Amino acid sequence: MFAKGDFASPMLIHAQTPPGVIVMKRLKANIKYRFENTERGGRIRITTGNREPLSAIYDFLASQIKDYGTGDSGVVEKR
């Protein structure tokens, strides 16, 4: 859904547009989403080569970590 620019799910849950979503929708062609299997299930890799969507992705993920209390550090790993 996100790869198509469809961010309706987070908006339904949060009753507002999460940080970063407007830019992620506008620049969806510059963002790639890839599922990877892991020992504990899976993860989604979100990548871009453009600064503007990268900043929006960071904002979006930071808000998700805070809202859901995942305990993740919020530290971004550069690969």
Convert the chain into a string of H (helix), E (strand) and C (coil).
CHHHCCCHHHHHHHCCCCCCHHHHHHCHHHEEEEEEEECCEEEEEEEECCHHHHHHHHHHHHHHHHHHCCCCCCCCCCC
pLDDT computed for residue 4 by the predictor: 82
How many of the other CB atoms lie within 10 Å of CB of 27? 17
pTM for this predicted structure? 0.75
pLDDT digits (tens, 9 = 90+) for 4-61: 877 777 666 667 788 999 999 999 999 999 999 999 999 889 999 999 999 999 999 8
